[in-house]
Amino acid sequence: MSTFKMEHKNPEGLFKSKAFSQAITVSGKAKTIYIGGQHAINSTGELVGVGDLKLQTKQALTNIATILASENATHRSICFRICASILPS
């Protein structure tokens, strides 16, 4: 039987909330990084780019890159799983 280790992560450079972790890693034979939903929030908890979708998107992607870098990963390490449900109209 495998032994798994789960760690809650709040990397330097990201807002540290008392309510949630920015990411969770699960390690065993392999390592998986679960990244929380990212918003345009900087390290001090301020919204970046109010009314500017481009700046907000840039901040959210910067947050994801910060999490990945803290785990020695890059955007090339990402595997997306998209789940969608179709609701009847």
| pLDDT surpassing 90 at residue 77 | no
- Token duo for residue 27: 């390690």
Q: Per DSSP, which regions of 1-89 are E strands?
A: 5-9, 23-27, 31-35
pLDDT of residue 1: 59
Q: pLDDT tens, 22-75?
A: 999 999 998 999 998 889 999 999 999 999 999 999 999 999 999 999 999 988
Residues 35/24, Cβ–Cβ less than 8 Å: no
Q: Which domains does the chain have, with CATH numbers?
A: 5-77 (3.30.1330.40)
- How far apart are alpha carbons 89 and 56 in whole angstroms? 32
Q: What's the pTM?
A: 0.80
CB atoms within 10 A of CB 71: 16
